[in-house]
A and B are shown apart, each in its own frame.
Chain A
Amino acid sequence: MKITKKDVEHVAMLARLYLDEEEKAKYTRQLNSILDYMEKLNQLDTEKVEPTSHVLPIKNVFRKDRVEESLANEEVLANAPDKENGYFKVPKIIED
């Protein structure tokens, strides 16, 4: 087993997922089987293969530095669960 239950708990915490014990066991199993499957790739000799960082054979897709109209404030906030004076209102962030 490469992935332990602790790894699953860690990744879940980072993704803000709350898992029960049963789910943790299930995902540990599933993630390991995925990784085992991926292991097969290691049988290939990739010595001379460049790592792929993008799957499409395109590069340098750029746009001109031109300003266009932004959304109106009401539109920006249309999906906001809570707002105040044109701002998104969110729970207090505890930093220290």
Chain B
Amino acid sequence: MDYEVIIGLEVHAELLTDSKIFCCCTTEFGGAPNTHCCPVCLGLPGVLPVTNEKVIELGVKAALALNCEISPYSKFDRKNYFYPDLPKAYQISQYDLPLARNGYLEIEVDGKTKKIGITRVHLEEDAGKLVHSETGSYSLVDYNRTGVPLIEIVTEPDLRSPAEAKIFLEKLKSILQYAEVSDCKMQEGSLRCDANVSIRPMGSKEFGTKTELKNMNSFKAVQKGLEYEVKRQKKLLERGKKIIQETRRWDENSNKTYTMRSKEEAHDYRYFPEPDLPPIVLEKGYIEEIRKTLPEMPYDRKKRYIEEYGLPEYDAGVITSSKALADFFEECVKEYVDAKTVSNWVMGELLGTLNAMDKEIDEIPLTPKHLADMLKLMDKGTISGKIAKKVFKEMMETGRTPDEIVEEKGLKQIADEGELSKIVDKVIADNPKSVEDYRAGKKKAIGYLVGQVMKETRGKANPQLVNKLLREKLES
């Protein structure tokens, strides 16, 4: 039987504030354990949390970027449960009156635009981090992350495949980065995703029993985890078995999901209004002020790149998928006008190497100006395209200027006819067989000879000039 897959996501993103949501401790990632803590975030008796105004601002901004309606009145609630990463034994979150509701995000699936509903966006505090000891006999707790502001974004069950879920997450990440509300670094945990998934016979109106998936640490893991879960559920149904509503943990090593044996009661959070925090009342004027601060979103930027820079749609899409990458591109184009050439380098060498390094553009020392300067060196004929790739790699690794690298490594292109002529003569003398072939009509033999000249010059010879000299000498 054919089944329809139904997926909804819950995404947590850390907001880009300097201080925590209810106290003045830093939100900086890392730091020695338990050094970013104070009586408020440790939940010591007698303290009073006070909301960071920037959290409201960024939360509203994120919600507006996701086309949500902002609630004129919202409040905080306590979500009660016992777990060592939660020092107060409750998390301050929002329950029945969230910051925003009824948004949507448009994604491209198979060339078609699809609207994915956003049920709600609410504010909450992050929990601490547990480190399990190697022997497994105890756990260690670091409360530095406790109280870092989060938004939780809940989608409607509108996603129809694990691949769609991945596309949605990529789009969401890029929107949150564009709006500058979160840096969305999955490896630092500033973007996290849980997924609800169920299947139903094609054409059926009723939802099947869903399972919740946790512990997926990358977008790829989300897709793989969901794919596994869909297969598992299909197998169960085909064997006439029932799906149990439960939370399952994705295990990256075995590529499987496992039941998390939490008791049913664990989900009874006994929410109640947080008495220490007064409600949040947002005026229309305030919301509109924030709306004005929303920057150009990926879709608009893509359109502009096509119109303003004449980029092909594909190029514009790839470059604007990440705000940092688009910013890099735009800075570079300010220094070097041929946008398509810049785009080729950004999409080719730059993205390729970044992927291989598993890094983001803002994690390497390369600057847009360096790329522009390097392209100018190519235009001037100082370096060849082949050498440029070497220089580019070096720039990505060290952040040094192309001039420095070319100078120090002696990479300057040999475009001096007299100098090259000597090398060409030597290659002709050393390779009588190829010379004979060429003169006998095998014109392709010239390729080998060009290669030999490049080898002699360690790639520095101007290829057009080498070709010209070889032809002249061979045909004379």
Interface residues of A (CB under 8 A from B): 10, 13-14, 16, 53-56, 58-68, 70-73, 76-77, 84-96
Contact = CB atoms under 8 A, between A and B. Distances in A.
Contacts of A67: 18-19, 24-26
A58 B54 CA distance: 19
A70 B33 contact: no
B24 to A, nearest CB: 4
B201 interface: no
B385 interface: no
Contacts of B138: 89-92
B279 A54 contact: yes
Contacts of B50: 61-63
Interface string B5-25: 000000000000111000011
B278 A71 contact: no
B249 A96 contact: yes
Contacts of A90: 84, 138-141
B260 A95 contact: yes
A12 to B, nearest CB: 11
B234 to A, nearest CB: 23
21 contacts: A53-B279, A59-B280, A59-B281, A61-B50, A62-B52, A63-B52, A63-B53, A67-B19, A67-B26, A68-B19, A68-B25, A70-B38, A87-B141, A87-B142, A88-B143, A89-B140, A89-B141, A92-B133, A92-B137, A92-B138, A96-B260
A92 B38 CA distance: 25
B39 interface: yes
A84 B132 CA distance: 12
B130 interface: yes
Q: Could you say which of B24, B32, B265 has the most chain A C-beta atoms within 10 Å of its C-beta?
A: B24
Interface residues of B, number: 56
Nearest to B129: A87
B52 A65 contact: yes
Contact of B75 (A54, A56, A86, A96): A54
B454 interface: no
**Which of A16, A53, A94, A95 has the most C-beta atoms of chain B within 10 angstroms of its own C-beta?**
A53
Contact of A88 (B53, B84, B265): B84
Contacts of B141: 87-90
B3 interface: no
Contacts of B51: 61-63
B110 to A, nearest CB: 37
Given A53-B97, A59-B280, A70-B25, A92 B34 contact: no
A9 B55 CA distance: 39
Interface stretch (B205-213, B268-276, B321-329): B268-276
B39 to A, nearest CB: 7
Contact of B34 (A14, A62, A88, A95): A88
Contacts of B131: 87
Nearest to B17: A65
A72 B270 CA distance: 34
A60 B54 contact: no
Given A76-B35, A96-B259, 14 more contacts: A14-B265, A54-B278, A63-B52, A65-B54, A66-B24, A70-B38, A73-B34, A76-B42, A88-B141, A88-B143, A90-B84, A90-B139, A90-B141, A95-B261
Contacts of B268: 10, 14
